[in-house]
Amino acid sequence: MNKVIVEGIKLYAYHGCMEEEGRLGGNYIVDVKIETDFTDAEKTDELSKTVDYVAICDIVKAEMAIRSKLIEHVGKRIIDRLKKELKGINKATVKVTKLNPPINGVVGSVSIEIEE
């Protein structure tokens, strides 16, 4: 099995349970890993025979633009849409990282990861 991996998609979004997070927003990083078979792409050099990185990024950006209280919710929306809109996905993993979350203490980031 082959993998298409898009890491470090940096976004500014407005997720969080606190009202301030909805107004001020914060920095996020999203990583996507897709297991697929791109053997035909290796042979033909045709984009249509693999999963398009640009389409992955577009889906991530669109879903991250929709406010949610929980990054778990955003991550699930992303993975559902990837599986719905992109062909040839055998398994997908989405990791959503919230940088500098507003919680007590000094915390660099919090993340969720969904694999389906």
The helix or strand, by DSSP H or E, that contains position 56, with its residue range, turns out to be helix 53-64
CATH of the domain at 77: 3.30.1130.10
Share of the chain above pLDDT 90, in %: 87
Domain span holding position 28: 2-115
Q: What is the pLDDT of residue 9?
A: 98
Q: What is the pLDDT of residue 42?
A: 95
Q: Catalytic amino acids?
A: 98
Rounded CA Rg of the chain: 15
Among all chains, which residue has been given the structure tokens 């997070």? 21
pLDDT digits (tens, 9 = 90+) for 51-73: 999 999 999 999 999 999 999 99
Token output for 46: 């045709």
3-class DSSP state of 36: strand
Token output for 67: 């406010």
Give the list of residues 6+ apart from residue 49 with CB closer than 8 angstroms, or none: 38, 40, 41
- Which pTM was predicted? 0.94
**Other Cβ atoms closer than 10 A to 99:** 14
Residue 105 pLDDT > 90, yes or no? no
Q: Considering its fold, how many domains does the chain have in total?
A: 1
Q: Distances from the Cα of 104 to the Cαs of 100, 101, 107, in angstroms? A: 11, 9, 8
Q: What is the pLDDT of residue 45?
A: 97
